[in-house]
Every structure is written in structure tokens, then in C-alpha cells.
């Protein structure tokens, strides 16, 4: 039986062989073109996928400082959640508490980087509003952490401790602990900064209400006229500021027996000043933060009671909220009865009093800054 080739060779010479040959060349060219196009499409898809993998969603965290343990823990919470969700986290901080300009520059950087959202613990809660509005106009969601902006609507949402309640708790505890002597209290207020950011006002005024002081205007620190108040001074939220402020107020009245402090680093500084003058065992210090170092200071008797907040939770919730907004346009909702999303607060003390719920330092050490 002849082969296929032999049969073709036995045909008369003419067009048939030429047509078959031409068709074969054309078919081969088409196959090569389609293969090339397919490879090109696959290459483009791979490049697109690669670009997507190399460009995750960006979220910015802007804190007051990167030295205060509270904000260190907040950053840890944001970093952990961002890693879990495959998000690029860019972190910024002021040089000191009150460094407004650095926070403004950070917002500009976040806008330029194409971030989807900003989480901010603002140093100047009023002045920052124009910058947060610029970010929102650029399409970013802005979430205030720990410190509500003024007005509250300057952020899309606020994840924070109920700072007024945090103040109320330590005020109620101090009043109950002093008993009848609360009427003779000599109180020093170690506040935050001259700008009076909302977090400082809320804690300060909450303490006063809890202790039974007429706060006058709840939005202002220092307008009260209760004779038990020795005075106010600012600490910048750090230990050295707390020491200096305590020394200043002791010069005004060395009989101070109760000290309200904006946070636990300031409380530690106040204690060192009192200790240096031999007054540590005659004065009760109360504070807000609930950080692990602060809980240890409660256990050691440096601080009588502190209100514990949860910065890691605030930050983690914030990162999740930005992702949700970027994907669906859904913004967080406030807690029932509040204008903020309340992340919780608990009183920590080893000297419990009737009528004020608290946890001891053993329990607090397991929960601090969770």
C-alpha cells in the first residue's frame, strides 16, 4: 500500500500542491499568532497580579508620640492587625505630646501615599480638623483613636475609651477612700498640655464630677471655684513633666493630699517629686491608662487607682474599619447612647471601695492594654 506521501507525489503537477502548501503556511502563521497572543495575555495577567501583590492597601497610624507606652501598645495593635489582613501600615508620631505640626505633615504624607484611611490620636484636637477634612475630601476615611476631635464630626468615627467615665471612676474611688476627709481634700491637677485636647478635658472633668466638684463648664479646664482645688499644671503626658508640675504645685501648697494625673507616666513623675520631699505616704495619686507599667505601680502603691483602657483593641478595630470602608464604603457605628465607639474602661486598684466596681492588680496584669 502506498504511503500518504507517495499518493501526493503521484498527483498530476499543478495548483493543488501549491494551494495545500500555501494553506499550510497560513495555518502555521495563525497558530503562531494565537499562541503569541495567549502568552501575551498570560504575561499581562501575571504582571497585573504581581503589581497587585506588591501594592497592598495602605493605612496610616498617627500618634502623639512614639515613646509613651500607651502609644507604643497602640502601634503594636495596628501592626499585628495590618499583618493579619495583608495591609501596609505607615506609622507616624509627634516628637512630644503636643507636637501638632508633625501630625499635620503626617496627614499630608498619607494623602500623597494614596492611603485608604488614617487612624489618629491628635495632639491638638481643634487645630487638626482642617487637615483631617483635607484627607476626607481626598477620599480617605479618618478615625480618631483615644482622643475625640473637636468637633467630633471632624472624624468619620472615634474609637476610644469613654474618657469622661474613666475620670468619674477614679474620682468616685478617691472620694470613697478619703471618706469624711474628702471635704478637706487639697487636690492637685496634673493635666496634659495648654491646648486642652478633648481627652484631657474629659478625664479632668470626669474626675471632678466623680469626686463631687462643680465643674461649671464641662468643656473647659480651670474655671471651677471649689476651694479644695490647689491648682492645675501641665505635664506633656510624660514623667519629667509630671515631676515638674508636682513640684510647682507643692510650692503653692505643701499640704496637697490628693493628685489627679492625666496618665501614668505623669503619675510616676509626681510620685518621684513627692518621694523626694518625704511626702509619698501622705498623698494619694489617681490616674488613667491601665498600662502594664501603671498596673505594676498600683501594685507597688505608687498609684492608688487607675482607669484601664485598651489601646491595642482601639488600633486593631481601626485597621479593620478602614479595610471595611475601602471595600464596601461602610463606616463604623457609635456605641448605643454614645457618639463614639466605646472600647471599654475598668478601674484597677488593690484597695476596693464600696459602690465602685474594680479589678485588682493580679487580674489587671493579665488584661493590661489588651
Q: What are phi and psi of 18, to 5 degrees?
A: -65, -40
163-308+345-367 to CATH, choices 3.40.640.10, 3.40.50.2300, 3.90.230.10, 3.20.20.60: 3.40.50.2300
HEC sequence for the chain: CCCHHHHHHCCCCCHHHHHHHHHHHHHHHHHHHHHHHHHHHHHHHHHHHHHHHHCCCEEEEEECCCCCHHHHHHHHHHHHHHHHHCCEEEEEECCCCCCHHHHHHHHHHHHHCCCCEEEECCCCCCCCHHHHHHHHHCCCEEEEECCCCCCHHHCCEEEECCHHHHHHHHHHHHHHHHHHHHHHCCEEEEECCCCCCHHHHHHHHHHHHHHCCCCCCCCCCCCCCCCCEEEEEECCCCHHHHHHHHHHHHHHCCCCCEEEECCHHHHHHHHHHHHHCCCHHHCEEEEEECCHHHHHHHHCCCCCEEEECCHHHHHHHHHHHHHHHHHHCCCCCCCCCCCCEECCCEEECCCCECCECCECHHHHHHHCCC
Whether 193 contacts 254, CB under 8 Å? no
The pLDDT tens digits for 201-220 are: 999 999 999 999 999 999 99
Report the DSSP pairing between strands 346-348 and 305-308.
Answer: antiparallel
Q: Give the pLDDT band (50/70/90) at residue 370.
A: confident
Rounded average pLDDT over 86-112? 96
Indicate the domain borders of the chain.
Answer: 56-161+312-332, 163-308+345-367
56-161+312-332 to CATH, choices 3.40.50.720, 3.90.1170.50, 3.40.50.2300, 3.40.980.10: 3.40.50.2300
Measure CA of the first residue to CA of the last residue in the chain; give whole Å.
88
CB count within 10 Å of CB 138 equals 13
What is the C-alpha to C-alpha distance for residues 104 and 134, in angstroms, rounded to an integer?
10
What is the C-alpha to C-alpha distance for residues 104 and 108, in angstroms, rounded to an integer?
7
Residue 55: predicted pLDDT: 81
What is the C-alpha to C-alpha distance for residues 207 and 218, in angstroms, rounded to an integer?
11
In percent, the amount of the chain with pLDDT more than 70 equals 85
What is the C-alpha to C-alpha distance for residues 304 and 286, in angstroms, rounded to an integer?
6
What is the C-alpha to C-alpha distance for residues 23 and 56, in angstroms, rounded to an integer?
50
Which three three-digit cell numbers place residue 365? 496584669
The pLDDT tens digits for 116-146 are: 999 999 999 999 999 999 999 999 999 999 9
Residue 42: predicted pLDDT: 37
The pLDDT tens digits for 345-357 are: 999 999 999 999 9
Q: Say if 56-161+312-332 and 163-308+345-367 have the same CATH topology.
A: yes
Which range of 4-13, 19-28, 233-242 scores highest in mean pLDDT? It is: 233-242
Rounded average pLDDT over 225-234? 98
What is the C-alpha to C-alpha distance for residues 151 and 8, in angstroms, rounded to an integer?
91
Rounded average pLDDT over 77-103? 96
Higher confidence at residue 290 or residue 55?
Answer: 290
The pLDDT tens digits for 132-189 are: 999 999 999 999 999 999 999 999 999 999 999 999 999 999 999 999 999 999 999 9
The pLDDT tens digits for 259-283 are: 999 999 999 999 999 999 999 999 9
Q: Give the pLDDT band (50/70/90) at residue 54.
A: low
Cβ-Cβ contacts under 8 Å for 7 (sequence gap 6 or more): none
Residue 66: predicted pLDDT: 92
Q: Give the pLDDT band (50/70/90) at residue 26.
A: very low
Is the backbone of residue 307 left (phi > 0), alpha (psi -120 to 50) or beta?
Answer: beta
Cell 495577567 maps to which residue? Answer: 45
Whether 124 contacts 67, CB under 8 Å? no
In percent, the amount of the chain with pLDDT more than 90 equals 82
What is the C-alpha to C-alpha distance for residues 181 and 305, in angstroms, rounded to an integer?
18
Residue 5 has pLDDT above 50, yes or no: no
Residue 41 has pLDDT above 90, yes or no: no
Q: Give the pLDDT band (50/70/90) at residue 69.
A: confident
Q: What is the dihedral of CA 108, 90, 155, 136, to 10 degrees?
A: 50
Amino acid at each position: 500500500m502506498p504511503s500518504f506521501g507517495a499518493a501526493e507525489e503521484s498527483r498530476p503537477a499543478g495548483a493543488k500542491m501549491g494551494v495545500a502548501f500555501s494553506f499550510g503556511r497560513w495555518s502555521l502563521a495563525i497558530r503562531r499568532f494565537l499562541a503569541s497572543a495567549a502568552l501575551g495575555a498570560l504575561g499581562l495577567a501575571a504582571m497585573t497580579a504581581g503589581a497587585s501583590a506588591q501594592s497592598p492597601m495602605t493605612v496610616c497610624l498617627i500618634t502623639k508620640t512614639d515613646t509613651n507606652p500607651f502609644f507604643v501598645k497602640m502601634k503594636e495593635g495596628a501592626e499585628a492587625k495590618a499583618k493579619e489582613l495583608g495591609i501596609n501600615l505607615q506609622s507616624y508620631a509627634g516628637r512630644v505630646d503636643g507636637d501638632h505640626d508633625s501630625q499635620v505633615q503626617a496627614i499630608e504624607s498619607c494623602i500623597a501615599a494614596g492611603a485608604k484611611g488614617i487612624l489618629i490620636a491628635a495632639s491638638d484636637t481643634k487645630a487638626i480638623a482642617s487637615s483631617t477634612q483635607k484627607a476626607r475630601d481626598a477620599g480617605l476615611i479618618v478615625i480618631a483613636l483615644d482622643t475625640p476631635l473637636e468637633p467630633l464630626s471632624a472624624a468619620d468615627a472615634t474609637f476610644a475609651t469613654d474618657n469622661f467615665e474613666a475620670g468619674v471612676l477614679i474620682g468616685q474611688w478617691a472620694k470613697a477612700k478619703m471618706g469624711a476627709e474628702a471635704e478637706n481634700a487639697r487636690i492637685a491637677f496634673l493635666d496634659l498640655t495648654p491646648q486642652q485636647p478633648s481627652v484631657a478635658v474629659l478625664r479632668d472633668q470626669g474626675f471632678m464630677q466623680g469626686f463631687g466638684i462643680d465643674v461649671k463648664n464641662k468643656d473647659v479646664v480651670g474655671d471651677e471655684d471649689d476651694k479644695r482645688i490647689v491648682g492645675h499644671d501641665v505635664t506633656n503626658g510624660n514623667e519629667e513633666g509630671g515631676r515638674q508640675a508636682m513640684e510647682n504645685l507643692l510650692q503653692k501648697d505643701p499640704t496637697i493630699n490628693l493628685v489627679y494625673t492625666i496618665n501614668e507616666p505623669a503619675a510616676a513623675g509626681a510620685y518621684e517629686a513627692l518621694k523626694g520631699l518625704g511626702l509619698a505616704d501622705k498623698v494619694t495619686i489617681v490616674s488613667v491608662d491601665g498600662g502594664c507599667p501603671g498596673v505594676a505601680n498600683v501594685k507597688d502603691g505608687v498609684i492608688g487607682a487607675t482607669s484601664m483602657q485598651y489601646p491595642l483593641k482601639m488600633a486593631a478595630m481601626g485597621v479593620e474599619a478602614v479595610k471595611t470602608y475601602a471595600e464596601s464604603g461602610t463606616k463604623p457605628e457609635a456605641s448605643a447612647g454614645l457618639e463614639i465607639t466605646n472600647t471599654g474602661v475598668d478601674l484597677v486598684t488593690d484597695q476596693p471601695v464600696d459602690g465602685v466596681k474594680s479589678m485588682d492588680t493580679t487580674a489587671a496584669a493579665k488584661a493590661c492594654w489588651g
